Amino acid sequence: ETAHPALELRGVSSAYGETQVLRDVSIAVPPGSVTALIGPNGAGKTTSLRVASGLVKPTSGEVLLHGQPVTGWSPHRLAGRGLCHVPEGRGVYRNLTVEENLTMMSPPGSVAEGIEKATATFPILGDRLKQKAGTLSGGEQQMLSLSAAYLRKPTIVLVDEPSLGLAPIIVDLVFDFLKTLKAEGIALLLVDQYALRTLSIADTAYVLRRGQIAYTGSAQELLQGDMFEQYIGEG
Ligand code: ATP
């Protein structure tokens, strides 16, 4: 028997009020692999992650975590089962220090270990421990919010636009970090504006267009084939 996907959206539709945003979206993220979710602005990528992490309830369809139906579960309960959502635009507490943010991300009893691990991964955070998160640069805030993906010991991490607005050298750091997560056996669902870069570290790719899945398949094939132009070339 094959293992269940770490995460699955099965026929998910979703709406904000009257506006339907997702139509019959099915995405499966196999354990320990990287799945890319790409597509133009407004296609529904962020909404798909929000459905997966319990922030938005689907109007129909199912969410499964390691094969278990979890549709309608709260974000907190899903987090307790190993799902970590690193949201777009830096999921940090701006008025708390870096140290306090890392403390909140670490499981009780392993705070010191968590701070050590995060500062070993991103040394700049070590220099900023006593600084309020809101005063960090965009890149530093992104490193801080990505630290949750390590410290909470998740099995599946959803990352929304991890390189948005970052300098190229920081983007390199962030992608190295994502590769480390994969090497540790953590499944990743990655939304990014840099389609090429994201596809190059992904195993499977999904393209969303106007709330519907337009492509499902190998990330390499999407990168190499004519399909790339067709699906992503325009934006
Ligand atoms: P982007 O990269 O621009 O964030 P996206 O693919 O992540 O795009 P979503 O953020 O999921 O797309 O948005 C999909 C559609 O839903 C857009 O048309 C957007 O305007 C709309 N939308 C998103 N959030 C809300 C909300 N809270 N209320 C109403 N409409 C929303």
Give nearest CA residue, ligand 1 atom 2: 41
Q: In this model, does residue 190 exceed pLDDT 80?
A: yes
23-48 as b/e, with b when 16 or more CB fall inside 10 Å? bebebbbbebbbbbbbbbeebbbbbb
Report DSSP letters for 184-199, one per residue: TT-EEEEE-S-HHHHH
Decide: 14 in ligand 1 pocket, CB within 6 A: no
Ligand 1 atom 10: the closest Cα is on which residue?
Answer: 46
Is residue 23 lining ligand 1, measured as CB closer than 6 Å?
no
For residue 17, the ligand 1 atom closest to its alpha carbon is 29
Quick one: pLDDT at residue 230?
63
Provide the pLDDT for residue 235.
43
Q: For residue 184, is pLDDT > 50?
A: yes
Instruction: For residue 147, report the distance from its CA to the centre of ligand 1, in Å.
Output: 25
pLDDT exceeds 70 at position 209: yes
Tens digits of residue pLDDT in 59-116: 999 999 999 999 999 999 999 999 999 987 667 899 999 999 999 888 888 888 889 9
The per-residue pLDDT for range 219-235, each reduced to its tens digit, is: 999 888 766 666 665 44
CA of residue 18 to ligand 1 center, whole Å: 13
- What was the pLDDT predicted at 232? 61
Please tell me the distance between residue 229's alpha carbon and the centre of ligand 1 in angstroms. 24
Alpha carbons 206 and 101: distance in angstroms, whole number: 33
Among 13, 41, 210, name the best residue to mutate to test ligand 1's pocket (greatest count of ligand atoms within 8 A of Cβ): 41
- Measured CA to CA, the distance from residue 139 to residue 136 in angstroms comes to 8
Greater confidence (129 vs 166) lies with: 129
Nearest CA to ligand 1 atom 17: 42
Q: Provide ipTM, 2 decimals.
A: 0.93
The answer, yes or no, to whether residue 130 has pLDDT greater than 80, is yes
Average pLDDT over residues 118-138: 92
**Locus of tokens 């900023």:** 128
CA atoms within 13 A on the CB side of 54: 19
Distance from residue 24's CA to the centre of ligand 1 (Å): 16
Ligand 1 centre distance from Cα of residue 70 (Å) = 23
How far does residue 87's CA lie from ligand 1's centre (Å)? 13
**Ligand 1 pocket: which of 9, 22, 46, 88 to mutate (most atoms within 8 A of CB):** 46
Which segment of 3-17, 48-62, 181-195, 209-223 scores lowest on mean pLDDT?
A: 181-195
- pLDDT grade for 24, boundaries at 50, 70 and 90: very high
Backbone torsions φ then ψ of 84, nearest 5 degrees: -120, 125
CA of 193 to the centre of ligand 1 (A): 14
Specify the pTM: 0.91
Cβ density class 70-102: b for 16+ within 10 Å, e for less: bbebeeeebbeebbbbbbeebbbeeeebbbebb
Contacting residues for 160 by C-beta, under 8 A, at least 6 apart: 45, 46, 49, 85, 86, 87, 88, 191
Q: Kindly report which listed range (11-15, 31-35, 61-65, 191-195) carries the lowest average pLDDT score.
A: 191-195
From first CA to last CA, the distance across the chain in angstroms is 40
Q: Could you tell me if the CB of 41 is within 6 A of ligand 1?
A: yes
Average pLDDT over residues 156-174: 88
